Structure 1
């Protein structure tokens, strides 16, 4: 990942609505959700949601697949993990073992670290 891609992702997620949508779809994993389900779960009007889904898709944070007359959205989990890696790659001057104390005090559990490949 480069600075331009990371900046694009952060700019897109700077909207509270888009951040909520992305977090919801991350929670759903590979199954994703159709637009109507997203709107219902987040109590958003469909027209408002469609604007945000378009932005998230253009930023590469979501993929979309046609299912009959519905659109299913999925979070791009590999992109999210790539962003985390990009942000932490040079943590503690390239000595990640020095960061163990920080990991212990963070909200990320060791199980989440294992699932993310860290």
Structure 2
């Protein structure tokens, strides 16, 4: 993962609604949830949710697929694993961390 990708993901998750959406989608993995169910569960207006889902999608943290007339959103847990690996890549390589 590049620094720019990590920054984009961290920036996206640093907003409360997006973090709540992502956490909800993680619990619904691997099947995902339709946008309407997300909006209802989190009590977020549809237009507001759409903005935040697009932000998460642009950051690579969620994917969307069409199922009939619904759009189903799924957490990209692999991206979070990449982010975790990126953040901990050099963990404990300095003597001050090892103690």
TM-score by length of 1: 0.77
Structure 2: 5+ residue runs without aligned partners?
none
CA deviation after TM superposition for structure 1 residue 89, in Å: 1.4
The aligned runs of 1:1-118 (5 Å cut-off) are 1-93=1-93
Q: Deviations over 1:64-105 (max 9, x none)?
A: 0001110000000100011001111111108xxx59xxxxxx
Runs of 4+ aligned residues of structure 1 deviating over 3 Å after TM superposition are: none
RMSD of aligned alpha carbons: 1.4
CA deviation after TM superposition for structure 1 residue 39, in Å: 0.4
TM-score by length of 2: 0.92
Structure 1: 5+ residue runs without aligned partners?
100-118
